[in-house]
């Protein structure tokens, strides 16, 4: 579970009754895509012929540019997660990260899903005993790439949802 029972209005767009601007929604989508892309190789190393996670990341970015509708980006996210159905560990988490990144077009709060699954992928790919440290490095890498306009929002959201995101944001 990565979404809270009660949605934070700061992560709901203005047209849906929240306070999130379209510009900040786009920044969250781009950051989520970057997080997912950073670990995509963990999926592609076991399924090089399956383009669905990469396509999901591309659809997230295309949505930001106004080239595809939200429904198309969201559908691509579902296809990315389906690509992971029979996988375990790092490849599965990497595909889920891509799926979550594409889902940001639909619900901005999926940004933490992309980040959390990317951290889980790195943890799972690390040598035995090194997963926690690898996850903290990935978390810091992600935070270093947060756009300034949404940095405080994302960091606050990470604190609020860390417990439902497998506590991966303790970095």
| Per-residue pLDDT tens digits for 89-115 | 999 999 999 999 999 999 999 999 999
Query: DSSP class of residue 20?
Result: B
Residues 132 and 140 sit within 8 Å (Cβ to Cβ): no
Could you report the per-residue pLDDT of 134-143, keeping only the tens digit for each? 999 999 999 9
Map residue 13 onto helix, strand or coil: strand
Q: How confident is the model at residue 1 (pLDDT cuts 50, 70, 90)?
A: low
Asked whether the predicted pLDDT for residue 9 surpasses 70, the reply is yes
For 20, phi then psi, to 5°, come to -75, 125
Structure tokens at 3: 């979404």
Per the model's pLDDT, the better-predicted residue between 6 and 127 turns out to be 127
Say whether 61 sits in a helix, a strand or coil. Answer: helix
Whether pLDDT at 86 is above 80: yes
Cβ-contact 80, 55 below 8 angstroms = yes
Instruction: Give pTM, 2 decimals.
Output: 0.97
Model confidence at 2, in pLDDT bands (50, 70, 90)? confident
Q: How many helices and strands in the chain, by DSSP H and E?
A: 7, 0
Q: Are 111 and 32 in contact (CB under 8 A)?
A: yes
Confidence of residue 5 (pLDDT cuts 50, 70, 90): confident
The 10s digit of each residue's pLDDT in 34-78 is 999 999 999 999 999 999 999 999 999 999 999 999 999 999 999
Alpha-carbon separation of residue 161 from 7, 49, 59, 132 (angstroms): 11, 35, 26, 19
The phi, psi pair for 84, rounded to 5°, reads -95, 0
């Amino acid at each position: 579970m990565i979404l809270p029972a009660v949605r934070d209005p700061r992560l709901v767009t203005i047209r849906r009754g929240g306070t999130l601007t379209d510009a900040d929604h786009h920044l969250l989508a781009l950051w989520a895509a970057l997080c997912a892309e950073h670990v995509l190789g963990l999926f592609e190393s076991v399924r090089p012929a399956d383009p669905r996670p990469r396509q999901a990341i591309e659809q997230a970015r295309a949505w930001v540019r106004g080239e595809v509708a939200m429904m198309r980006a969201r559908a691509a996210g579902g296809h990315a997660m389906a690509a992971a159905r029979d996988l375990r560990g790092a490849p599965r988490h990497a595909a889920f990260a891509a799926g979550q990144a594409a889902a940001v077009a639909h619900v901005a709060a999926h940004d933490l899903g992309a980040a959390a699954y990317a951290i889980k992928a790195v943890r799972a790919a690390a040598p035995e005993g090194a997963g926690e440290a690898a996850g903290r490095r990935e978390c810091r890498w992600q935070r270093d790439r947060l756009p300034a306009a949404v940095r405080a929002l994302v960091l606050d959201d990470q604190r609020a949802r860390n417990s439902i995101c497998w506590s991966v944001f303790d970095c």
